[in-house]
């Protein structure tokens, strides 16, 4: 027993370097530095999260009520204007584009009308499609509707119906800016039907509206046959 006690230090001294490093306690200053770094990182991360959360919360909480109040005031203003004028204000329609165009209103009207009144059962749908592409607004809608209707008109195809005519007069409509009166003389015929046999040419009147899309680009925006 005495020898074992005397040899305790020697035995400890002969331990392997690995064993000695394994059991060597961490220096208190090293522990302090490690804890300090961990705490600093945690504090920084917490501060960043709080700052971001606070900014988002303050921005959201301050902007949402302001936005809601602005929208409510705008809506109330529109309703008040509608009550007084009986018209509800709406955003402006997006700008439309048309293929081609003419250098003057009269040129645009003459070209459009000539195509409109001269067609056969085989070409009428294509003519209406072309006029829809060359116009805007109500005129485009009217031509697109005419193209859809004539493309599937069985009676038109079976009777071989055709229309021909000339533009007799184009004049401004007094008191109406960019509106014109268009007078045509037309004859409708049929190759496979007697429905139009002996029919004489007839006079037709249309109120047309023109619009200048760009410099020297006049197109039709309204087409309203009166008879």
Structure confidence by residue, pLDDT tens digits, 104-116: 999 999 999 999 9
Backbone angles phi, psi at 167, to 5 degrees: -85, 115
CA separation for the pair 108, 2 (Å, rounded): 126
- The residues pairing with 181 across neighbouring beta strands, listed in sequence order, are 171, 207
> Is residue 82 over pLDDT 50?
yes
The average pLDDT across 71-87 equals 74
Q: Where is pLDDT greater, at 102 or 6?
A: 102
- pTM of this prediction? 0.60
Assign 37 to helix, strand or coil: helix
CA separation for the pair 73, 71 (Å, rounded): 5
Assign 152 to helix, strand or coil: coil
CA separation for the pair 26, 31 (Å, rounded): 7
pLDDT of the residue at 215: 87
CA separation for the pair 211, 134 (Å, rounded): 12
Percent of the chain scored above 70 by pLDDT? Answer: 67
CB 195 within 8 A of CB 168: no
Residue-wise pLDDT for 162-195, tens only, equals 999 999 999 999 999 999 999 999 999 999 989 8
Task: Count the alpha carbons within 13 Å of 98 in the hemisphere toward its beta carbon.
Answer: 29
CA separation for the pair 109, 24 (Å, rounded): 102
């Amino acid at each position: 027993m005495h020898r074992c006690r005397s040899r305790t230090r020697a035995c400890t001294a002969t331990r392997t370097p690995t064993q000695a490093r394994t059991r060597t306690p961490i220096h208190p200053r090293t522990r302090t530095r490690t804890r300090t770094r961990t705490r600093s990182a945690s504090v920084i991360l917490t501060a960043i999260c709080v700052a971001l959360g606070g900014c988002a919360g303050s921005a959201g909480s301050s902007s949402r009520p302001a936005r809601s109040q602005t929208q409510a005031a705008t809506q109330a203003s529109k309703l008040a204007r509608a009550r007084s004028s009986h018209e509800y204000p709406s955003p402006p329609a997006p700008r439309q584009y048309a293929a081609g165009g003419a250098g003057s209103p009269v040129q645009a009207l003459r070209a459009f009308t000539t195509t409109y009144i001269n067609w056969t059962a085989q070409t009428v749908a294509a003519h209406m499609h072309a006029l829809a592409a060359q116009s805007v607004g109500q005129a485009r809608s009217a031509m697109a509707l005419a193209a859809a209707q004539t493309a599937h008109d069985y009676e038109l195809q079976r009777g071989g119906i055709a229309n021909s005519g000339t533009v007799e007069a184009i004049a401004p409509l007094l008191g109406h800016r960019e509106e014109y009166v268009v007078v045509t003389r037309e004859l409708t015929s049929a190759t496979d039907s007697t429905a139009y046999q002996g029919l004489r040419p007839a006079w037709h009147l249309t109120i047309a509206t023109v619009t200048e899309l760009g410099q020297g680009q006049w197109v039709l925006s309204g087409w309203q046959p009166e008879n």
